[in-house]
Amino acid sequence: MRISRRILLATSGAAAATAVPAAAWAETRIHPVLEADPFTLGVASGDPEPDGVVLWTRLAVNPLAEDGFGGMPNGVFDVKWEVAKDERFRRRVASGRVETAAEVGFSVHIEVDGLESGREYYYRFKTGRWTSPVGRTLTAPSRRSMPDELRMAFASCSQYEHGYFTAYRHMAESRPDLILHLGDYQYEYKAGVYNSPDGNVRDHEGPETVTLATYRQRHAQYKADADLQAAHLVAPWLVIWDDHETENNWADEVPENGSDTPDPADFLVRRAAAFQAYWENMPLRRTSVPEGIDMQLYRRVRWGRLANFHMLDTRQYRDDQACGDGTQSNCADAWDESRTITGAAQEEWLIDGFHESTARWDVIGQQVFFTQRDNSAAADVLRTSMDGWDGYAASRQRIIDGWVEAEVRNPVVLTGDVHTHWAGEILPDFPDAQGASVGVELVATSITSGGNGVDSVPEDNSALVINPHIKFRNAQRGYVETVITPDQMDVNFQVVPQVTVQDAPVYTRRSYTIADRDRSLHQTYDRPVDVSTMSTNTSPFADSDELADDYLN
């Protein structure tokens, strides 16, 4: 599953790179003619820097081909890329040519540099007589600048079978400057295994993803969705995985079923295949090229002096889930000081980043519920999810202590995974639910996972009664919009009433403001409960977050 670390470089006013196994390509220089459009998977950009950005595409004339090669004929394909200041490419500022072939799934990763900081650009690809859609991207501001604002959106959990990706379309229409995807970009199950309470409206192609070919095919099925393509077209993305990009609830080298797996070594082969396909299908830099079962994915992106984005990987280095996984009561192992969800090296990297930060906002992009969420009203029982940070409580405490000791000005944790909107304040010392908030957690619901969901009065939810530091909960589908300025972060929890029908509207369910140095939530808007969604939803988990988390995540 390893590919060569040798890099093919092309330059034209700016530098570009694509990771390729150059030695293998030297054996053939076949350039087949493509009779059909190979840009069926769209284009994307990501990981912006002050002088450049990553540009991505993947050639596929038949995205759902079973061999995972997208119907592409064997051979090497020249791909031209262009960057301009305008959509009509009258003011081109960079261009070049690279090659791609089957060894990298016909993917293309261009690392453009030499661009101006803090500005909008447009890009496209060409091969043969075919031209890709035009994408919009942005470079990050210069390191010393203080931008007036950053419009950032984040999302997670898009299960293709459970609904239409309408939320991605609405996200694109809002034209953010930056999009964060916090995991479960695609799901591994074969059709009909993971069913929405509202009924699946689309089917997965192929078997459960285990091989490189099946992971490539599944990524292609998702990337072929027009709404998802629209979201990639409009802004650069910062991506991080959770579990379903590989397998549900995996932990480092331990598969979901742990020692019950017939041959645990099979999981490592699967993991290498999943990592390779993930890199091929995401706008990631060459630093993330996988080496077998290893892939460097945690990283830091700076947006001038306004914000640091610390993107974490809470799957690849974690200890196995405590007490048998799931939701457990009074699990002593969850508090074991030796257990970690990040691994020692990533934890040190994150805390060092806190101490070095001079940003107004330090944003931690990660996957699973961070703040303590007790599911039991009994005073002597602490019932929590072992898959989230509650299952690694000592690890969480070290992170909290790290930003407190570093005097991080405005720590904000962004989370996905649980298919529900949440907003909460992070207390200094769990399980003691006392003291002033030392940070804020914002949790995005799913794009589709779990079906339509249901609206409710947040304050009536038992989780908010048990956990007063959690201020908001909503089980509809959608994403989160933010506007970050030097003085405050404005947060809108966006929802769509249904995902089982196409083109549903979007609206703001609740809004908050986080003021500079305040580290707490201030509600600014609340829309009344949508009774129509309550009466039509058929979810058996409408009133049970515990069951919903165990079954749907």
pLDDT in tens, 217-273: 999 999 999 999 999 999 999 999 999 999 999 999 999 986 445 566 899 999 999
pLDDT at res. 484: 99
Beta strands 178-181; 237-239: pairing state: parallel
Report the candidate in 494, 354, 360, 486 with the shortest Cα–Cα distance to residue 421.
494
* CA–CA separation, 79 and 108 (whole Å): 8
- Phi/psi for 220 (5° steps) reads -65, -40
DSSP 60: B
pLDDT for the residue 433: 75
CATH 2.60.40.380 range(s) for the chain read 1-140
Q: Which residues of the chain have pLDDT under 50?
A: 1-27, 259-260, 535-553
Between CA 486 and CA 499 the distance in angstroms is 35
Tokens of 288: 């993330």
Residue with tokens 């995205």: 63
The predicted pLDDT at position 30 comes to: 65
CA–CA gap between residue 284 and residue 282 (Å, rounded) = 6
CATH class of 1-140: mainly beta
Residue 395 near residue 415, CB atoms below 8 Å? no
**Nearest residue to 552 (alpha-carbon basis) of 475, 495, 493, 498:** 475
pLDDT at 24: 46
Name the CATH architecture for the domain at 150-552: 4-Layer Sandwich (3.60)
Residues of the chain with CATH 3.60.21.70: 150-552
Strands (E), 416-469: 421-426, 439-443, 453-454
Q: What is the pLDDT of residue 233?
A: 98
CA–CA gap between residue 71 and residue 65 (Å, rounded): 6
Looking at residue 547, its pLDDT comes to 36
Q: What is the pLDDT of residue 544?
A: 35
Task: Specify the pLDDT at position 294.
Answer: 98
10 Å CB burial of residue 208 (0-12, 13-18, 19+) is middle
